[in-house]
Amino acid sequence: MHTVFSRVNNISALLSSCVMGLLAAIAVSSMALQLFEAPLEGGSVVVNNVKVTHGKGRQYKYEHARVDFEIDADLSPLFNWNTKQLFLYLDAEYTNAKGVKNAVVIWDRIVRRKADAKIHVAGNRVQKYQFKDKHTFRDAEAVYTLRYNLMPHVGALVYGVAAATNASVPFPALNAANAKV
């Protein structure tokens, strides 16, 4: 009547249903906790210097921007019992001469522990990725924003802003002194 296989199947179905219910409760409580948390404060992004040079690719010429920046942010309030890691990235949003709005990631970091959540990045070699435009940076201004992606153990990903520049930073005019072909 009731074989061993049917009993094992019933027990495993009950256990998997209980585990799924527990994971759903954890996800809902984690989302409710994030709704009542205060937003991050005190982070800053300062752009010290922007240099624009010519570059030459295989198929087209482009302009390359070199950005020297400083980041100070305390992200430790984002760490709780359900935080697995944070993915931080600095993006530059600008509208080029053709009227196309662009968002380019120029730096990123993964933070896995609360002890590493106080971020201080400075220096003239901190830009990680190339920042180039096929057309031109002329008459463009960029807004630099430090964003985060909180990855929980259980639940939905959470996106947010940790810091931003107070004003848009213009790209300098490209002249013969800093042009290279």
Predicted pLDDT at 8? 92
Bigger pLDDT: 61 vs 15: 15
Model confidence at 11: pLDDT above 90: yes
Burial of 140 (0-12, 13-18, 19+ CB in 10 A): buried
Query: Taking the complete model, does pTM exceed 0.85, yes or no?
Result: no
Are the C-beta atoms of residues 143 and 24 closer than 8 Å to each other? no
CA distance 26 to 32: 10
